[in-house]
Structure 1
Amino acid sequence: MKRNVLIIGAGGVAQVVAHKCAQNNDILGDLHIASRTQAKCDAIIASVHDKSAMKVPGTFASHAIDAMDSAAVAALIRQTGAEIVINVGSPFVNMSVLDACLETGAAYIDTAIHEDPAKICETPPWYGNYEWKKRDLCAQNGVTAILGIGFDPGVVNAFARFAADEYMDKVTSIDIVDINAGSHGRYFATNFDPEINFREFTGTVYSWQGGAWQENSMFEVGRDWDLPVVGTCRAYLSGHDEVHSLAANYPEADVRFWMGFGEHYINVFTVLKNLGLLSEHPVKTAEGLEVVPLKVVKAVLPDPASLAPNYTGKTCIGDLVKGTKDGAPVEVFVYNVADHKDAFEEVGSQGISYTAGVPPVAAAILIAQGDWDVGAMRNVEELDPKPYFPVLDRLGLPTRVQINGVDKAWNE
């Protein structure tokens, strides 16, 4: 049994994590949140108290930390007595935070793959470049490390495992579909960190098809999807973290990730990219100032957290999994629908942050209770999803299944 949680990061997802940890502090114990800017942590804690989110009286304290400094993170873990670390900071800090957990024995949770700030879209499988190199150390030290457990990656990995376990003898394809049918009312904005968002879409699109890595460019391959609640939406083959672990665990299946984009987003993105404004390489202005174009674009775009008050509409994220059972073809869609307005009313964040922030807290609860405290590094599809889905249901992200024309709860 593990208790006491340290949250790394203070963005929109961290706000959701903080609220959900507070709502379950009877299980999770003392709560701490740390980022480079302590005032942001203080604002999140204030929002928790404004919503009276703490289930029982307890500690919720803020700290300043440079999460790139592994020794400082380890010192903070010891200072706070945290036995579970939820890393929802920049993907650039994953390895330094993981190293701190290896040093202290704390369980490690993150929601996205590690990235090197100087590199975009490295050779697949992405996890093999960084996190998986620490698998043996996690096992030797008995450290639980659950990788990529936001929604996608994360819950969608659990969806794939559930569909395979419950309905199939053999999986032939996994298509992950992420549609945000909401509206934030701004001319242009990204739903999470613009720098990470744009880096994700400027590189090669990798998918796993026919037992090999397939390369495409962004917005090259699109198709319409008819989905529950949100209806028919256009989504494009995109590169994404979960493809890289699912391909390793289901090598005989085709694994693809599809993300929804409107024409306006694509037009603005294309102009920015063609002008060189999405480059991570420094340039000099006429005044001799050295700037990174991508960071300038990030600075002028709305803070994703500022979108929440006026966000309306819903998201639909799910897996279309195909395979065979007793030689007959099987097709199942496992999914969740979330509402932006409901998310804001509950935790003060928009639906994209909500779907990313709830799942790591559900994982923390399972680690605290012992169900997922496995003493090793795991991607989500390597864990039994059955204990996970009831916690997600309780925390506000219910899982549903469509099969043979029937739409039902996952456990019906």
Structure 2
Amino acid sequence: MKKNVLIIGAGGVAQVVAHKCAQHNDILGDLHIASRRKAKCDAIIASVGEKQAMKVPGTFDSHALDATDVAATAALIRETGAGIVINVGSAFVNKYVLDACIETGVAYIDTAIHEEPNKICEAPPWYGNYEWKKRDLCAEKGVTAILGAGFDPGVVNAYVRFAADEYLDTVTAIDIVDINAGSHGRYFATNFDPEINFREFTGTVYSWQGGKWQENAMFEVGQEWDLPVVGKQKAYLSGHDEVHSLSANYPAADVRFWMGFGDHYINVFTVLKTLGLLSEQPVTTAEGLEVVPLKVVKAVLPDPASLAPDYTGKTCIGDFVKGMKDGREVEVFVYNVADHKEAYEEVGAQGISYTAGVPAVAAALMVAEGTWDVARMANVEELPARPFLELLGKIGLPSRVITPGGEDIAI
């Protein structure tokens, strides 16, 4: 059994992870959180104290860390005695934290792929550019590395595995739909790191269709979806991490990711992109200063964590999974509905952070108790889905499935 957790990062998702780890510290043991700015870690620990989230008395300490420094991260892992690292820092640090975990032999969990700051939308499959290159090494050293254990990627991957295991003989199509029907009340803001958010939508939109990669532009392909609770919503074919692992594990299926956007977001995004303000490449100002336009935009937008107190409404994220069962075509819809206000009241974060953070802690609990401590690298769909989804339901993110017969039942 693995115990003691080191959380990397101090943003909105880390806030959720910290609270949820505290709620289960009887299993997870000593807790530590590290970021470049220790003060942000201290604030998160203070919020855990204010909510009295610690299930049993125990350690929760903060640390200053540059997570791109593999040696420093490995030293902190050893110093804290961590058996599990939950990496919810910037996507730019993933490969370094993974290397530190491999060096020290501890379990690694993240919620998104690694990205390089000066590159956008590299060639698919994205996991093949960095993480999967370490698969053999993880297996050789017996290191458990769970990739993409947030909601999307993460829970939506488990939804595909669940549908395949329990309702289908073969999978022919996977459509992942992510709708945020909430409102933060600001003129314009992103729900997570603006730099990472915009990078997702400025490159090529890759989907896996007809056994090959299809390329589209962002907002080129839209479709209306009728979903539980949030109703009819417009969503656009978008590029996303989970498409790149699901296409490898279900190569005979079409795999698409759809994200909901309002007209206002699209208009602002289009203006920023047209002006060149979403570029990741440096430019020089008239004063001779070198700046990255995307980082300037990030600096002037609200911190996503600051949106939480005023956020209202709900999210609905789920998978339409089609396939064959007993010789006939069937479809299931596996989904979750989360509430922004309820998330804030529980952990002091908005619903987008909540849906990303809770699954990472569920994964840590699955590793700690052995079910997912597989001594190799794995994407979520490669692991048993039902126990993961059942645990998620117990700790705050219940899932439901609309069966081929039309029943809407809890998992």
1:284, distance to aligned residue in structure 2 (A): 1.4
CA distance in 1, matches of 2:288, 2:133: 41
User: Which residue is 1:176 aligned to?
Assistant: 176
Q: Does 1:109 align with 2:109?
A: yes
TM-fit CA distance, 1:243: 0.1
Q: Secondary structure of 2:258's partner?
A: strand
Q: 1:140 & 1:290 partners in 2: Cα distance? A: 44
Q: State the partner residue of 2:383.
A: 383
1:4-403 superposed matches below 5 A: 4-403=4-403
Counterpart AA for 2:101: C
State how far apart, in whole Å, the 2-side matches of 1:191 and 1:276 are: 22
**Aligned mates of 1:155, 1:165 — CA distance in 2:** 15
RMSD across aligned positions (CA):
0.5
Q: Distance in 2 between matches of 1:167 and 1:272?
A: 44
Residues of 2 paired with 1:287 and 1:363: CA distance?
49
State the shift of 1:89 in Å.
Answer: 0.2
Q: Secondary structure of the residue that 2:352 maps to in structure 1?
A: helix
How far has the Cα of 1:387 moved from its partner?
1.4
- For 2:408, the aligned partner's letter is D
SS of 2:381 mapped into structure 1: helix
Q: Which amino acid aligns with 2:132?
A: W
Q: CA deviation at 1:227?
A: 0.1
The residue type equivalent to 2:124 in the other structure is: P
Gaps of 5+ in 2: none
Query: TM-score, normalising length from structure 2?
Result: 0.99
Q: Distance in 2 between matches of 1:96 and 1:197?
A: 21
Deviates more, 1:286-295 or 1:241-250: 286-295
Offset of residue 357 of structure 1:
0.3
Residue aligned with 1:213, SS: strand
Once residues 74 and 68 of structure 1 are traced to their aligned partners in structure 2, the CA distance between those partners, rounded to angstroms, is 11
Note the alpha carbon deviations across 1:344-390, whole angstroms, 9 max, x for none: 00000000000000001000001000110000000000000121112
Letter in 1 for 2:18: A
Q: Which amino acid aligns with 1:359?
A: P
Which whole-Å CA distance do the structure 2 matches of 1:362 and 1:284 have between them?
A: 45
2:189 and 2:117 mapped to 1: Cα distance? 22
Distance in 1, matches of 2:147 and 2:287, equals 44
Q: Tell me, what secondary structure is at the counterpart of 2:386?
A: coil
Gaps in structure 1 of 5+ consecutive residues: none
Q: Which amino acid aligns with 1:405?
A: G
Shift of residue 82, structure 1, vs aligned partner: 0.1
Deviation at 1:235, TM superposition (A): 0.1
* 1:22 alignment partner, SS class: helix
The Cα offsets for residues 305-330 of structure 1, whole Å up to 9 and x where unpaired, read as 00000000000000000001011111
Question: How many angstroms apart in 2 are the aligned matches of 1:393 and 1:332?
Answer: 19
Cα displacement (A) at 1:149: 0.6
Task: Report whether the alignment pairs 1:408 with 2:387.
Answer: no
Mapped to 2, the partners of 1:164 and 1:386 lie a distance apart of: 11
In 2, the alpha carbon distance for the partners of 1:139 and 1:287 equals 52
Structure 1 runs of 4+ aligned residues shifted over 2 Å read none
**What SS class does the counterpart of residue 57 from structure 2 fall into?**
coil
Tell me the alpha carbon deviations over residues 82-109 of structure 1, each in whole angstroms, 9 at most, x when there is no partner: 0000000001111100000001011000
1:270-296 deviation digits (Å, cap 9, x = unpaired): 000000000111111121111111000
Report the alpha carbon displacement of residue 117 of structure 1 after superposing the two structures with TM. Answer: 0.8
For residues 119 and 280 of structure 1, what CA distance do their matches in structure 2 show? 7
Equivalent-residue separation in structure 1 for 2:281 and 2:401 (angstroms): 44
> Which range moves more in the overlay, 398-407 or 226-235?
398-407
Deviation at 1:339, TM superposition (A): 0.1
CA distance in 1, matches of 2:58, 2:357: 21
- Between the aligned partners of 1:268 and 1:372, the Cα distance in structure 2 is 42
Please list the CA deviations of residues 182-217 of structure 1 after superposition, one character each: whole Å capped at 9, or x if unmatched. 000000000000000000000000000000000000
Report the 3-state secondary structure (helix = DSSP H, G, I; strand = E; otherwise coil) of the residue aligned with 1:171: strand
Offset of residue 395 of structure 1: 1.0
Letter in structure 1 aligned against 2:406: G
C-alpha distance in 2 between matches for 1:254 and 1:297: 35
Identity over the aligned pairs, expressed in percent?
Answer: 81
* More moved, 389-398 vs 36-45: 389-398
Give the residue type in structure 1 aligned to 2:291.
Answer: V
> Which whole-Å CA distance do the structure 1 matches of 2:370 and 2:350 have between them?
31
Q: Secondary structure at the match of 2:385?
A: coil
Determine helix, strand or coil for the equivalent of 1:357. Answer: helix
| CA–CA separation in structure 2 for the residues paired with 1:220 and 1:226 | 20
Any idea what SS the aligned residue of 1:387 has?
helix
Give the Å deviation of 1:406: 1.3
Amino acid at match of 2:40: K
